[in-house]
Amino acid sequence: MEIIWLAVFAVLLIGYFALEGFDIGVGMMLPLLSRASERAGEPGTRQRHRDRVVAAMAPFVLANEVWLVAAAGTFFGVFPSLDGTVLSGLYPLVVTLLVSWILRDAGLWFRRRLDDRGWQAFWDVVLCAASWGIALTWGAVLASIVRGLPAQPFDVLGLLYGAVVAAAFAFHGHAFVAWRLSAQSEAGSNRRRLLLSAVVAALPVAVPLVALVPSLLDHTAPSATLGVISLIALPVAPILVGAQVWVWRTFGPSRSTGAAARTPSFF
């Protein structure tokens, strides 16, 4: 049972990096990606290009970011004695991560709510800066956990690992936009590249997780607790997977035709 729940937690956290990684990467690369779209000779204003890039990831964000919500909830339920130690031990980093996450989401939810160029540009800056904040803070968080929660979490090593996470996410975001906005003819190679970039985005968390397996296994909740969570959560697992698959089947690159193509993205 402990092994199952450790695996569920690992899948959720690695899944978060592999999936939400491209949303964060697209946010970080928003100015570059929209300029690339501009240079490619597409019609429209600069804002339209940014809209197009954000619209590429928009239908996936809610389904992706929730992997971290689930990972955090599972962490609390499965490793209750670690939850408080780790989160309070990383206090300033967790606060920075949450504020960045909230601001990134606010950028997405708010950017198209007013037809005003200044308003949209402002939230796009927030979206981009907060995406960088998430990537860099994740690096510092992971570097800090691996070293046993040092008293000073903001340091050079954390920043360096943040750069690694940021680079992986940026690569993943780039691959995702190429896949989502690709022509039919290039779909195959773009899909392969997206899978590769998902692995790259997952590695910065997967490697430390493997190293942490022994100490995680030492701190699992009593079997009565795990039994209760299993009783409710495991039967629902196929529905969770099904819902995620449904998102990817609905919003793949080749489906945007007819009325769907003419529906402006909500984000």
Partner 1 sequence: MLDLARLQFAVTGSLHFLFVVLTLGLAPLVAIMQTRHAITGKPVFERMTRFWGQIYVINYALGVFTGLVMEFQFGLSWSGLTHYAGAVFGAPLAIESLVAFFLESTFLGLWIFGWNRLPKKLHLACIWLVTLTAYASAFWILVANSFLQHPAGSVQQGDHLVLTSFGALLTNPSLIMAFPHIIGASLFTGGFVIMGCSAYHLFRRTTEQEFFRRSLRTGVVWALVGTTVASGFGYAQYGILDEIQPGKLNSGVPQIALGIMILIGQGIHFTVMLCLLPLLWRDRLARLRWVQPILMIITPLPFVAAIMGWLVREIGRQPWLVYGRLRVADAMSPGLTKGMVTFSLIAFVGVLCLLAVTDYLLIARAVRRGPAHVALGAAEPAEPTPSPALVL
Interface with partner 1 includes 264 (CB under 8 A)? yes
C-alpha dihedral over 69, 62, 191, 39, to 10 degrees?
-120
Assigned token pair, 115:
């037809």
Among 7, 98, 163, 195, binds partner 1 (CB under 8 A): 98
CB of 48 to partner 1, least distance (A): 10
Assigned token pair, 105:
């989401």
For partner 1, the closer of residues 207 and 226 by Cβ is 226
For partner 1, the closer of residues 105 and 157 by Cβ is 105
Q: What is the spatial distance between Cα 176 and Cα 200, in angstroms, rounded to a whole number?
A: 13
> Phi and psi at residue 147, in whole multiples of 5°?
-90, 15
Interface characters, 220-239, with partner 1 (x: CB under 8 A): -xx-xx--xx-xxx--x--x
Interface with partner 1 includes 13 (CB under 8 A)? no
Q: What is the spatial distance between Cα 58 and Cα 60, in angstroms, rounded to a whole number?
A: 5
**What's the count of helices (H) and strands (E) in the chain, helices before strands?**
11, 0
Interface with partner 1 includes 118 (CB under 8 A)? no
Interface characters, 163-202, with partner 1 (x: CB under 8 A): -----------x--xx--xxx--x----------------
Among 92, 150, 217, 218, binds partner 1 (CB under 8 A): 92
State the chain's maximal CA–CA distance in angstroms. Answer: 61
Handedness of CA 176, 181, 182, 188 (dihedral sign): positive
Say how far residue 182 (Cα) sits from the centre of its chain: 21
Q: What is the spatial distance between Cα 174 and Cα 22, in angstroms, rounded to a whole number?
A: 8
Interface with partner 1 includes 244 (CB under 8 A)? yes
Interface with partner 1 includes 240 (CB under 8 A)? yes
Binding positions for partner 1, 44-63, rule CB under 8 A: 52, 58-63
Interface with partner 1 includes 87 (CB under 8 A)? yes
Interface with partner 1 includes 81 (CB under 8 A)? yes
